[in-house]
Amino acid sequence: MRIIALIGKAQARKGFRFVYSGISRQCLSCKLRPVCVDKLEVGRVYEVVAVRERVHPCELHEGGVRVVELEEAPVLAAIPSKLACEGAIVTFNPITCQNTKCAAYQYCCTQALRAGDKCFVEKVHEKLECRKGLSLRLSSLRRL
C-alpha cells in the first residue's frame, strides 16, 4: 500500500529508506502535518518509491519538503527455520535474547517489526548461528 507523504527535499529520491522516529515539536501546528507525518507509524521502515515535483516550505528541512510516495520496506529479521518459506505469511514474534554481542541479535530483536505483525516472507537468506541453540533463518519480511 502506497502512502503519500512529505520528506526533506534532500532525502526525496527513489530508493531512500528511513525509520520514522516520530513527530517533531515544530510539526505540531503545521497545516501540512496531516499529509506529511500523520499516516506514518513510529519505528516502521519506509522506502521512497516515487517522487513528485511539488515542493513545500518547511521549518525543519532546509530547501523544503517534497511530495513522495512511500511503501513500508521489507525488514531483515530472524524467524524459526520451520516458518522460513518464501511466499508464506507468518506472524512475527521477536526472538527473546539478552546477548547483545551476538552477531544475530539485531535480526532477532529488530525494532522495525512488532510481536503479532502479520508478514509476507519475501526471501529466505542464510541460516543464523544462535548461541541458544535455536534453528533460525535470516528472512526479508514485508508487513501486511
pLDDT in tens, 72-105: 999 999 999 999 999 999 999 999 888 998 889 9
Enumerate residues 6+ apart whose C-beta is below 8 A from 87: 120, 121
pLDDT of residue 107: 95
Mean of per-residue pLDDT scores for the chain: 95
Percent of the chain with pLDDT over 90: 88
pLDDT of residue 125: 98
Instruction: List the domain boundaries for the chain.
Output: 3-72, 75-143
Which helix (H) or strand (E) segment is 106 a member of? helix 105-108
> pTM above the 0.75 mark?
yes
Q: Is the pLDDT of residue 30 over 90?
A: yes
pLDDT of residue 131: 85
Taking only the tens place, the pLDDT of each residue in 94-136 is 998 889 988 899 999 999 999 999 999 999 999 999 988 999 9
Distances (CA, A) of 17 to 14, 36, 76: 9, 16, 13
Q: Is the pLDDT of residue 6 over 90?
A: yes
Can you point out the beta strands (E) in 10-130?
17-19, 45-56, 65-72, 75-80, 89-91, 118-128
Percent of the chain with pLDDT over 70: 100
